[in-house]
Each structure stands twice: as structure tokens, then as C-alpha cells.
Structure 1
Amino acid sequence: MRLLLVNPNMTVAMTDKMAAIARKIAGSRAEIVPLTAQRGFPYIASRAEAQIAGGIALEMIAENLDGIDAVVIAAFGDPGLAGARELFDLPVVGMAEAAVMTAAMLGERFSVVTFSPLMTPWYSDCVEDTGLASRFTGVCTPETRAVDVTRVVTDLRGDLVDLANQAVREDGADVVILGGAPLAGLAPEIADDVPAIVIDPISAAVAQAMTLASLQVQFAGRTCKPAAKSSVGLSPALAEIIATETVQ
């Protein structure tokens, strides 16, 4: 099995960290093929940036489908996820959705803890999209808006632990999701400091991608696939997929 790990952020260090986590989760069961965006933003931090990055993610997937069994969109707000599922005939998993679905299977109520209040509306939208908002206690963040994403795990570690505990103590969460690619890998490190289950979204996404790929579901003839049409200015690989008629 081969999983395409698509990071629509431009920061290679994030991709490397998430790929290492993915390989640990996959073990010998899957090969991880990591990709980092070559244009866009060093780090996606808003709904507007996610809209732009979503198109870039679609191009990245289209250009690298050969031999791939499932795709993981390795950015917590899941840029391009819905569109990718419409276009591509294989399982596509997003970090945010995977984390929320996993939280719903592990507890009754869940919170998202992240490192900047700028992400709060976007991440709240992601939860709403899953249909599980009734079990969501909210997004918890520090007050600061200015964050160095390359140092957030060290600079804000204590704040993140405090916020996770606050979510448990004050909001009644029994599962805490650490939202944002810069927090990848932190969950197991702070698990003993939080009286709740702490979820690492990239781990959840990889595990779910492998599960979906193993189901070997039939994608041909889906009614939700968009009608074939021509386009201008897209990457050749993406343009070809969009122009291809659905096989019945």
C-alpha cells in the first residue's frame, strides 16, 4: 500500500515531521510518499489561505497519483478535501476530519487546542462540516496572535498543556485534539499531563487512510463526480482529470 501525504504548506520541516509520524503509524503496512507545496504559503492560517491552498493541493494530488492507494491532506483545516473526494477515485482523508471522527469514537465530548486565535473560526467550521458540532466544546488558544510556527511546540508547550487541562476541567472534554501541523507529534509527549485522551491528527489521518484503502471500495460510476469540462490555466494533470468522462 502507498499513501500520498500532501502538505499544502510550503514548510518542508513540517512535511518531514509529519512523514516521520506517518511512517511510525504505518510500519511495514504502507509506504509514505510525502509532498510539500512549492507555492502558496509557508503556513496556512485562515479560511482565505485555505481556499487558495486547496487548489494547490488538488494539483499536487493530480500530478502524483501513479501507484497511490490513498491520500492524506496534511494540513489541519483540510484544504481541498471536499473537492479532492469529488475528483479522485481513491480514498482522501483530511487531518481535521480524521481527528474529529476519531475523537467521536474515543469519547463523548471533544475540544480542539491550537496555538493561535486566528485559526478559531476556520477550525470551528471544520468541526461543523463533520456533523459532530453537538459534541464539540470549542477551540482553545493562547491570546497571542504572533507565533513562530517553527518554535511553537517549545515556546508554547506549557500554554498548550494548560489549555488542554482547561478544556477538560471547564468545558467537560474527555478528548483533546491538538490542531495544526506545527503541533504534529506533541500529543504523546503531553498525554501524561492531560486527564483526557489527546489526539495527534496526522496519526489519526494515516490510520484512517490505511483502513479506507484496505476496504477496496468501488469508485467507478459515482453520481457525485463532476461533469467533464475543459479548463484554462490549470496544471496539465489536473486539467486532464477534470476533462475525463465518468466511467459507468
Structure 2
Amino acid sequence: MKILLLNPNTSESLTTRLVDAAAQVVAPGTEIVPATAPRGVPYISTRAEAQIGGAIALEMLAERAGSYDAAVIAAFGDPGLFAARELFEEPVVGMAEAAMLTACMLGRRFAIVTFATALGPWYQECVEMHGMTARCAGIRMLDGAFRSISAVQEEKEDLLVALANDAVASTQADVVILAGAPLAGLAAKVRERIPVPVIDQAQAAVKQAETLALLRPFKARQGSFQRPAGKESTGLPGPLADWIARRG
């Protein structure tokens, strides 16, 4: 089984973190195939950047269509997720949706903890997009600069743990999600310091992707996620243009 782990950020260091976290839980015989955005921003933190990353994710999926059994869009706000499910045959998993659904199997309400205030509005809209508002106890964000996106989890580990513990105490959250690709792998390091289950977003996503690949669902032929009728386009990369035109 091949799971495409698609990072719509341009930071190779984040792709490495995501792959390292995912590799700890995948089943024997599952191959993680990493892919990093060839252009865009080092890490997505705003609505505008998410729109850019989502479009690039569609291009990357089109280029690799048919070469994987399931794909993960490995940015916590799930940029491009619904569009990808509409266009492509293989199951596509969003890292945020997978983390939230996993959290819902461990408790009634979850808290999202992340490393930057800029992420808050986008993450809140992601919660709403997935219909999880009633299950979300709140989103907690650190306030302050960080030195490096590739090392933010080491730099801010103690502050993130304190923020998670405060969220549990003040909101009665049953589960904590450490959110944002730069925090992939942190849950395993800090879970003994937080009194409720802690979800690793990358691990939740690849396990959900494995499950969907094993279930072998067929592509919707009716409903809102059926593949749209073919349409010619102008200026799009060849593989994506072919897929939209139904030549793929």
C-alpha cells in the first residue's frame, strides 16, 4: 500500500517531521510517499496562503494520480481537501479532519493547541467546515515570535504543554490535539505531561488513510462529491488541466 503524504508547504524540514511521525504507526508493508510543494510559502498560516496551498495540492495530486492508494493533505487546516475529494478517484484525507474525528472517538470534546495566534481564525473555520463546532472545546494559541518554523516544537515545548494543561483545566476538554505541521511528532514526547489523550495529527491522518485504502470505497457517482463534467481550461499545469477536462 502506498500513502501519498502531501505537504502543501515548501519546507522540506516539515515534510521530514511529518514522515518521521507517520512512520511510527503505519502497518508493515505500507509505504509513505512524501511530496513537498514546489512553490508557495514555508508554512501556511492565513486564509490567503491556504487558498494558494490548496491549489498547489490539487496540482500535486493530479501529477501523481494513480500512483498511490490514498493521500493525506498534511496541513492542519486541510487546504484543498473538499476539492480533491471531488476531483480524484483515490481517498484523500485531511490532517485536521482526521485528528478531530480520532479525538471524537476518545472523548466528547477536544481542545486544539497550536503555536501561533495567526493560525486561530483559519483553524476555527476549519472546525466549522467539518461540522465539529459542538465537539470543539476551544482553540488555544501561543502568543509570541519563534526563531525557526522547523524547530518551533523544541523551542516552545514547555509553553505548549502548559497551554494544553490550561485548556484541559479551564474547558474540561477530554482530548488535546497538537495542531500544525511543525508540531508533528510532539504528542509522543509530551503525552505523559498532559492528563488526557493527546492526538498526533500526522499519525491520525495516515492511519485513517490506511483504513480507507483497505476499505476500497468507489468514487461517488452521485451527490456533491461526484466528479464534475469535463471542462477545458487555460494556463493550468498539464496534469491538472487533463484531469479537469476528464482526459485523466
Task: Classify the TM-score, shorter chain.
Answer: over 0.9
**In the alignment, is residue 242 of structure 1 matched against residue 244 of structure 2?**
yes
Ranges in structure 1 where 5+ consecutive residues have no aligned partner: none
> Do the aligned residues in 2 keep the contact of 1:112 with 1:177 (CA within 8 Å)?
yes
1:52 aligns with 2:52: yes
Deviates more, 1:128-137 or 1:195-204: 128-137
- Partners of 1:114 and 1:124 in 2: how far apart? 12
| Map of 1:206 onto structure 2 | 206
Aligned residue for 1:204, secondary structure, equals helix
Offset of residue 148 of structure 1 = 2.6
Q: 1:220 to 1:82 in 2, by over 3 A?
A: closer
TM-score, with structure 2 as normaliser: 0.95
Whichever residue aligns with residue 80 of structure 1, its letter is G
Q: Secondary structure at the match of 2:3?
A: strand
SS at match of 2:4: strand
1:93 to partner: Cα distance: 0.2
Kept in 2: contact 1:72–1:94 (CA 8 A): yes
Give the distance between the partners of 1:145 and 1:134, measured in 2 at CA. 31
1:144 CA displacement: 1.3
Matched, 1:77 2:77: yes
The corresponding residue for 2:234 is 232
Q: 5+ unaligned residues in a row in structure 2: which ranges?
A: none
- Root-mean-square deviation (CA, aligned residues, Å) is 1.5
Q: Which runs of 4+ in 1 moved over 6 A?
A: none
Cα distance in structure 2, aligned partners of 1:66 and 1:93: 16
Does the CA contact (< 8 Å) of 2:146 and 2:155 recur in 1?
Answer: no
Q: 1:103–1:177: 8 Å Cα contact kept in structure 2?
A: yes
Task: Answer yes or no: is the 8 Å Cα contact 1:118–1:145 preserved in 2.
Answer: no
Q: Which whole-Å CA distance do the structure 1 matches of 2:55 and 2:104 have between them? A: 29
Aligned partner of residue 118 in structure 2, secondary structure:
helix
Q: Percent identity, aligned pairs only?
A: 50
Quick one: distance in 2 between partners of 1:233 and 1:5? 26
**Equivalent residues of 2:2, 2:30 under 8 A apart:** yes
For 1:26, what is the secondary structure of its paired residue? coil
Q: CA deviation at 1:245?
A: 7.2
The equivalent residue for 1:89 is 89
Aligned residues: 246
* Residues 111-164 of structure 1, C-alpha deviations (whole Å, 9 max, x = no match): 100000100010111111121211211110112155531221121111100010
CA contact (8 A) 2:6 2:35 kept: yes
CA distance in 1, matches of 2:10, 2:65: 20
Aligned to 2:4: 4
TM-score where L is the length of structure 1: 0.95
Structure 1 pair 50/147, CA: closer, same or farther in 2 (3 Å)? farther
Q: Match for 1:154: what amino acid?
A: E
- Give the partner amino acid of 1:137: A
In structure 2, what is the equivalent of residue 164 of structure 1?
164
1:30-179 matched pairs, under 5 angstroms: 30-145=30-145, 148-179=148-179
Residue type of the alignment partner of 1:52: I
